[in-house]
Amino acid sequence: MNGTTMRRFGIALAAVLLMAPLALAATTDPAGAPGRPGKLTAEQKEKLKSLREEQKKAMQPLRRALKTQVDELRVLLDKDASDSALNAKLEEIRKTRTAIRELEEKFMAQTASILPARQRAEQVVRMADRMGKPGRKPGMGKRGGPGGPMGGRPGERHGPEREGDGEHDED
């Protein structure tokens, strides 16, 4: 590096070092949590932890019921049950899933009441950024299925086999 480049680098470094305290102060959220935006205060952490425990306790019976209902549906399918029996079980499952969604919405609203608007907005942005990215869950492909968009292993064919169209022939 020549002298002019070194001087410019030094000036830029000094500017960054002088601006760092101002940037830190600007990222302090209205609730007073210093540091990066969205950082939770001890009080918020405690409230959210308590809320999660309450939600888990409230969800357990519904999730157990849903699992039992799906197991019962499997038995009905294995027995070649009538459409009316299948429809009745499907309606029971639909009602349980609706109850789960309503409970999730209730807890989401309670969570929102704990966080100021900026933290809620940052949370939405972070979640949106994570949506659809590969590696979100172990073994999941880009579009949610193991190994790829259709849920099969990489290189595995999906859909009906086509004979004689030339494009899909193995020979």
User: Quick check: 161 and 168 in contact, CB under 8 A?
Assistant: yes
DSSP lists the bridge partners of residue 140 as: 146
Residue 69 within a domain: yes
> How far apart (Å, rounded) are the C-alpha atoms in residues 66 and 105?
18
Residue 106 within a domain: yes
Residue 32 has pLDDT above 80, yes or no: no
Residue 90 within a domain: yes
Domain that holds residue 98: 40-110
**Number of compact structural domains in the chain:** 1
Residue 104 within a domain: yes
Residue 53 within a domain: yes
Residue 101 has pLDDT above 60, yes or no: yes
Q: What is the mean pLDDT of residues 28-42?
A: 55
User: Quick check: 114 and 51 in contact, CB under 8 A?
Assistant: yes
Residue 78 within a domain: yes
Residue 91 within a domain: yes
What is the CA angle 17-18-19, rounded to 5? 95
> How far apart (Å, rounded) are the C-alpha atoms in residues 70 and 67?
5
> How far apart (Å, rounded) are the C-alpha atoms in residues 58 and 61?
7
Residue 60 within a domain: yes
CATH classification at residue 67: 1.20.120
> How far apart (Å, rounded) are the C-alpha atoms in residues 104 and 100?
6
* φ, ψ at 145 (rounded to 5°): -100, 155
> How many CB atoms within 10 Å of residue 1?
8
> How far apart (Å, rounded) are the C-alpha atoms in residues 44 and 35?
15
Q: What are the tens digits of pLDDT across the range 39-96?
A: 888 999 999 999 999 999 999 999 999 999 999 999 999 999 999 999 999 999 999 9
Residue 1 has pLDDT above 80, yes or no: no
